[in-house]
Amino acid sequence: MRKTFLQEIRQRLEDELDQLVSKKSAQELRDADTDEIKKDPYACIPTTCNTDMNMALMERERKRIAEIGRALQKLDRGEFGACEECGERISPKRLEAILSALFCIGCQARLEKDAGRASALDEHVQIGE
Ligand SMILES: [Zn+2]
């Protein structure tokens, strides 16, 4: 694989990570504010209505951050672009579309099918950990 391609991938992963992390700290600041408001029983707290949604969002972001960290680790070790299931090279096209792709297209499809059977949507994220 061309080095420039990997450098570009790394740059894009790092950019996304930066964005996620800065968004996360902003979210944490907002949560701190919410705690303050909760102490006042007469305060209007419209934000609590969205708590579940916020938590789901944060969970998704946390997973994404872990995914990107993993992809960056693989870049460091020179393992980036190899499928974690079968060891086959993941096509550069696929990597460009999904920067943190851990599996080749065949394994990903199979894993998603398995995850669907287990009726746990996030199951495939756990596989290979
Ligand atoms: Zn594979």
What pLDDT is stored for residue 121 in this prediction? 47
What pLDDT is stored for residue 5 in this prediction? 86
pLDDT in 10s for each residue of the chain, 129 residues: 556 888 999 999 999 999 998 887 887 777 776 665 556 655 555 555 567 878 888 899 999 999 999 999 999 999 899 999 999 999 989 998 888 888 999 999 999 998 887 654 444 444 444
Expressed in angstroms and rounded, the spacing between residue 111 Cα and the centre of ligand 1 is 10
What pLDDT is stored for residue 124 in this prediction? 46
What pLDDT is stored for residue 55 in this prediction? 85
Expressed in angstroms and rounded, the spacing between residue 37 Cα and the centre of ligand 1 is 49
What pLDDT is stored for residue 117 in this prediction? 77
Expressed in angstroms and rounded, the spacing between residue 101 Cα and the centre of ligand 1 is 11
Instruction: For each of the domains in the chain, give its residue range(s) and CATH number, in order of start.
Output: 3-126 (1.20.120.910)
Expressed in angstroms and rounded, the spacing between residue 32 Cα and the centre of ligand 1 is 43
> ∠ at Cα 31 (30, 36), nearest 5°?
95
What is the pTM assigned to this prediction? 0.64
Q: In the structure encoding, which two tokens stand for residue 114, read together? A: 């398995």
Write the DSSP assignment of the chain as a string of letters: --HHHHHHHHHHHHHHHHHHHHHHHHHHHHHHHHHHHHT-TTS--GGGGGHHHHHHHHHHHHHHHHHHHHHHHHHHHT-TTB-TTT-PBPPHHHHHHSTT--S-HHHHHHHHHHHHHTT-TTHHHHTT-
What pLDDT is stored for residue 1 in this prediction? 53
Expressed in angstroms and rounded, the spacing between residue 85 Cα and the centre of ligand 1 is 5
